[in-house]
Amino acid sequence: MIAKRVLTLGFLSALVSTAAVAQSQSWVEKAVHNFGAPINTMWAEGELSFADDGTMVYCSARQDMAVADGDPKDLYIAYFNEETGTWDDPVNMGMPVNQPPRTDVDPLRKGDDREPWITADGNTIYFRSDRLATSTPQNNHDIFVTRKVNGTWTEPELVGFPVSTTEGDEHCPAILQDGETLCFASRRAGGYGGSDIYCVKPDGNGGWGDAVNQGPNINTAAEEFHFTQDTDGRIYFTSNRPGGYGGMDIYSAMPIAPNDWASAQNLGPQVNTAGADMCPALPPGGDTIAWFSSRQDNSFGNADIFWTSKLNTE
């Protein structure tokens, strides 16, 4: 696959066992890599995800390509060019996916579109937006979905209750490996504190079943969000619980049963720093992990997108 070829470039042969690779990692395997230009810019780049063909969607605060001046974040799509071995220039997904500010309607509608999750087939994107935000009751943002039909992305639709609510500021949607379970973060009442991670399944009638809190091994009194699952079933997520390396860290946990997870483990100092390390994404191929970070040891000037071998998280 294209993305596997790119994001595992320089790794040892896949035919070599994981144990042998771990013993003989070169500096390339051990390094944390900045995605570089044209993905990262002087502005803040953020949440990202990949389709199975390597197509990447992510968000950026760049103003040179924004839908409107002052947009906090817009969604972008990027494709890898096999001939050049680099990413082509990213494309702002434009309207109606991205919305300009509508503070004349409500001061909370700032044109903030972010946290995209593209499905494996590349035809559906879930994301967070403030396009229907309300000051009374205060509801800062909800989850929306757009679908590619005949090559064009549709007008985004609200993913309604029990996903989006008027109290929970729902965000960070993601689909698990079963291809149907939608997970997201919410500050709704009844959780463990802050943002908790919930998951829902389709109800068979075009809607969603009950939203299930993912329990105390995942959620704490701190902030938890952005659930991502690999092909082995392991999930990765963001938390600022005590005991980490800095503001926000990335953790992982193995499944025990549906909606039940083993104790979460910090991914360690290769990924997590004194800065904010957030929102894990898993490129096709299974060998690497990507995320965005405010780390300053290899930065274009603001939050950037990074990747490293998953060997560095074990």
Kindly report the three-state secondary structure assignment for every residue of 220-233.
CCCCEEEEEECCCC
Domain membership of residue 96 (yes or no) is no
Domain membership of residue 8 (yes or no) is yes
Q: Residue 137 belongs to what H/E stretch?
A: none
Radius of gyration of the chain from Cα atoms?
19
Q: How many domains does the chain have?
A: 1
CATH of the domain at 162: 2.120.10
Domain membership of residue 66 (yes or no) is no
Q: With left for phi above 0 and alpha for psi between -120 and 50, is residue 192 left, alpha or beta?
A: alpha
Q: What is the C-alpha to C-alpha distance for residues 76 and 90, in angstroms, rounded to an integer? A: 6
| Strand, coil or helix: 266 | strand
Domain membership of residue 69 (yes or no) is no
What residue spans of the chain are helical by DSSP H?
2-7, 18-23, 27-30
Per-residue pLDDT of the chain (314 residues; tens, 9 = 90+): 434 334 333 322 332 233 334 456 677 678 999 999 999 999 999 999 999 999 999 999 999 999 999 999 999 999 988 888 889 999 999 999 999 999 999 999 999 999 999 999 999 999 999 999 999 999 999 999 999 999 999 999 999 999 999 999 999 999 999 999 999 999 999 999 999 999 999 999 999 999 999 999 999 999 999 999 999 999 999 999 999 998 899 999 999 999 999 999 999 999 999 999 999 999 999 899 999 999 988 778 789 999 999 999 86
Could you tell me the residue range of the domain that residue 262 belongs to? Answer: 2-35+121-313
Domain membership of residue 164 (yes or no) is yes
Is residue 273 within 8 A of residue 293, CB to CB? The reply is yes
Q: What share of the chain is helix, strand, coil (3-state, %, to 5)?
A: 5, 35, 60
Q: What is the C-alpha to C-alpha distance for residues 113 and 74, in angstroms, rounded to an integer? A: 5
Domain membership of residue 224 (yes or no) is yes
Structure tokens at 148: 């590619």
